[in-house]
Every structure is written in structure tokens, then in C-alpha cells.
Amino acid sequence: MKEFSLNGMPVKIWAKMLDHKAWLELGNLCSLPFAFHHVALMPDAHGGVGMPIGGVLATRNVVIPNAVGVDIGCGMCAVKTDIPVDSIPEEVLRKKLMRGIRKRIPLGMDHHKTAQDESLMPTGFDVECMTVVKRQYVAALKQIGTLGGGNHFIELQRDEEGYLWVMLHSGSRNIGKQVCDYYAQIAKNLNEKWFSSVDTSMQLSFLPVGTAEFKQYWNEMQYCVEFALANRKLMMERILEVIADSFPEAHFEPMINIAHNYAAWEHHFDSNVIVHRKGAVRAAEGVIGIIPGSQGTRSYIVEGLGNPDSFLSSSHGAGRCMSRTEAVNTLSLEAEIAKLDALHIVHGIRSQSDLDEAASAYKDIDEVMALQSDLVRIKVALSPIAVIKG
């Protein structure tokens, strides 16, 4: 971990290197008058919108919609089975498991053709009092239980003992984006009206505690966090049903879940502050987390060590080392396919456009894990055997 000061604000960075955009965004974070104590960047940090992905920012009495991001509540879940991977015939893996999952889980921009049962949606919220959630609710009934695109994925994996695991990465679908965009614009308008010293061009406009707009965003953000969890839970249930069809005697352990895009009230350095985690997970002492690699590398189940310097956080993955455009324009399709085929990984890379999520577009996950050995302890290493990308 490296420590220095930027714009008068202490910075603690676990990343080996940062891209130019991330450096600019870090400087903007350090200029915020309400930033608390220090800014932390995890080892997977890279440029985002307003705040770097892999960033952790604590603030005094304000929330920044763009420091949470558009995929509110996005996160990971994983389930261990008692099925030995070596007992799964290749034909069953490809034709029953993979095809069955694709049949049950809409991918990319696809949604369910019919609304899902309302009992699957988050409870304990007054949707009628929410501006964006109320407007998006009917559409969200067709989005729950769908993967989405980008870096979202479903993986079948093998642990070091040879047992099958299921891991997936997804978030709040369109409802989270709509909430972020709506309140980020409100924050921008209000900051301009208040003649705020925070330049709106930094995309870090804020909503202060005590305002109606803060309360409204906070409620809708929390709904999206719960919706993202409900989305992952439903997908996992349906994936396990597919597996159980072929392995009716299989047992499944409880699902591990952790989010990496949200804001929460927490107590750090003797103060109650709002911690924004954007592409970072909570790694308090004893908390079990998930840190995926790329579709050609290992992923990890980890246990938090509770390091106060990171605001009890760790990375949420390997982190990109090149943009999607750069990956598509520069990587070799043949080389990336050969790399996965050599590892006997069932994958979906077929064309140059698929290289936006190629393994080579990501940082070395083992180097990332070594850089954060003071943040988490590895409990289980998982290697991919089959990958479905959004």
C-alpha cells in the first residue's frame, strides 16, 4: 500500500498502477470539501465515471450518486455443491447444464417475456412514494432473474478439492441505472443552484443529509440494492434447478452474497460517515467475500481482515487493464480462444467483438490478491470450467 497526499487529502492506494482517467478522478475526489479522513483505492482500481472503479470514499453528511454508480447493488454470489467435477460428462456439461442455464436465464439486454411473481421483489419498501422505482416497477418484474450485459457472468467452477461451484455476477439491471441517472441530474441542478464549490464537470454532485432529495435517493438506492440481491438469488435458484435435474442427489451449501456498488452509514475513525464503495466490497473482520478473476483465471472466496486503512474494504475483482474498445481492437481472437481452449474452459468467444471481456483485458488476479494480502485472507480458490457472459 502506498500513501501520499493529493490536493491536501491523504490517499492510500493498493493498486500497482493507475490509468490516466483514474488519476484525474482521484484528484477530484481529494478536492471535495466533505471528503473524510482519506481516499482509498483498491488494487483493481481503474477509471470510471466521477469516481474510479475500485474506489472507497467516506463523506461527511452527503451522498454522491455517481460515487455509487449506475449499477446500484451490483455484486457477486456463489454456491458450493457436493458434485465432483470429474463426475460430470462433457456432454452433460455442454448440452444439459450450459444449455439449460441459457434457457432459464435471459442474457444481455434480454428480459423475461412475462412478468415474474411479485413475491420475488424486495419487501418493506413503500414503492408508491418512490419516483423512479414506481415508474420502473412493471418493467423490473420482467428483469428480475436476468443477467444483463457487460462484465456480468455465470461460471461453473472447480475448487481445489474438485467440487463444483456456481458463481454469478449481476446487479439491479435498468432500474439501478435509472435511479442513478435521475438523482445525479437532480444533484447537479441543485449544486448549480447553490453555487457549490464542487465543479459539476467532475460528475461528483452531491445530496446533503437532511434534504428531501437525499432521503428520496437513499430509499431508492436501498431498494435497488435489495432488487440486485433478489435478482441474483432468483438466477441462482434457477441454475441450481438445472443442475438438480441432472444430479438429483446433489446438495447445495447456503449462498454467499456480497455487493460492490452502494453507499452506507458506517463508523470509522471515531466518526459516523457515509462510505461509498464503487467496485469495492466490504471486508470487515470475518466477513466472507467473493473476488472474481477473468473468464480464464481463478476466482477467490475470501475472508475480510478488517483493515481500517481501506475503510474495511477490498477489491471487487481483478480490474480492467484495457478498455473494451482497446481490447476489441488490439487482442488476437485466435490467441484468446486458444488460451481458454488450452485450459479446457467452455466459453462463448466466437468473434472479435467478444474480446471486450477477454481474459487479457483484465489485470493479473493473483497479483491483485498479493497486493491486498493485508485486506483479505484467501479461503477457497476456484478455477473456471464453463463460462456464460452477458
- Separation CA 181–CA 363 (nearest Å): 29
The angle, 0 to 180 degrees and rounded to 10, between the axes of the packed helices 131-143 and 173-193 is: 160
Separation between Cα atoms, residue 230 and residue 238, nearest integer Å: 12
* Alpha-carbon dihedral 333, 335, 340, 346, rounded to 10 degrees: 30
At 122, give phi and psi (nearest 5°). Answer: -60, 145
For residue 201, what are the CA distances in angstroms to 25, 207, 348?
11, 16, 39
Measured between alpha carbons, how far is 338 from 235 in angstroms, rounded to an integer?
A: 30
Helix then strand count (H, E) for the chain reads 10, 17
Dist. CA 279–CA 276, nearest whole Å: 10
| CA-CA-CA-CA torsion sign (8, 14, 18, 21) | negative
Q: 148's torsion region: left (phi>0), alpha (psi -120 to 50) or beta?
A: left
Give Cα separations from 171 to 146, 148, 323 (angstroms): 9, 8, 21
Catalytic-role residue among 169, 316, 344, 347: 316
Instruction: Classify 145 as helix, strand or coil.
Output: coil
C-alpha cell at 60: 461527511
The Cα 192–Cα 185 span in angstroms is 11
The amino acid present at 61, given as its one-letter code, is N
Closest Cα to residue 44, out of 263, 324, 280, 258? Answer: 280
- Please indicate whether residue 267 is annotated as part of the active site: no
Find, among 281, 361, 357, 287, the residue nearest to 320 by Cα.
361
Q: Residue 255 has what DSSP assignment?
A: P
Q: Which residues are catalytic?
A: 316
